[in-house]
Amino acid sequence: MVQVLDLEFIEYISLDKLKDRIAELADEINQEYKDKNPVFLAILNGSFMFISELFQNIKVECEISFLKVSSYKDQNSTGNIKELIGLNQSIENRHVIVVEDIVDTGKTLHFIKSTLKNNNPLSIKVATLLHKPEATLISNDLDYVGFEIVNKFVVGFGLDYNGFGRNLPAIYIKKE
C-alpha cells in the first residue's frame, strides 16, 4: 500500500506486467509502421513514462512531439479541456500515433483527434496505456490498448493525483 496525499492506493498492475505489455504494443506498431515514418504525439503530463518505455521498443524510423492538455482536477474529469501546449511541427501527410496514459470519458481524446484532423494527417491512430470502458461517454477508436481497467481512480507510472504519485513504479488503484 502507498499513500499519495490524503488517499491510500494498492498495487493494481505491476511494473513487469506494464513493461511486457508495452513491448507487445511496440511490436505491433513496428510491424504496422515499417517504412511509414510516423510521428508520435505524446499527451503530457501523464503519458511521459508510457511513451518513454514504448519508445525504447520502437524500431521504425519516426519522430516524437508532445501536446499538453488538461481536464482533471482532484479525482475527476472536469469536462473542460484546455490545450496548453500545441503542435509545434507539421503533421500534414504524416501518419500520427497519439499516445495517451489513460482514456476514460473519451472527451479529451475526441478533442485532440478533432484538432489534429484539421492539420490533414494521412492517418491518426491511438495508443493508450489504460482504458476505462465503463467510463466512456464519447467513443473513440483505440488502436493499441495496454490494459482495460475498472472505473476506479488510479495513479502511478505517470498518472497523478493532484500532481503527486506520477513517480510510482506501477499502476496503483485507490483503496476502498
Strand partners, 3: 8
Q: Is 104 helix (H, G, I), strand (E, B) or coil?
A: coil
Q: Inter-axis angle of helices 15-32 and 48-56, to 10 degrees? A: 60
Residue in 104, 141, 143, 160 annotated catalytic: 104
What's the CA gap between 115 and 152, in Å, rounded?
A: 28
8 A C-beta contact, residue 95 and residue 62:
no
User: Is 104 a residue of the active site?
Assistant: yes
Q: Is 157 helix (H, G, I), strand (E, B) or coil?
A: coil
Q: Is 170 helix (H, G, I), strand (E, B) or coil?
A: coil
Which amino acids are annotated catalytic? 104
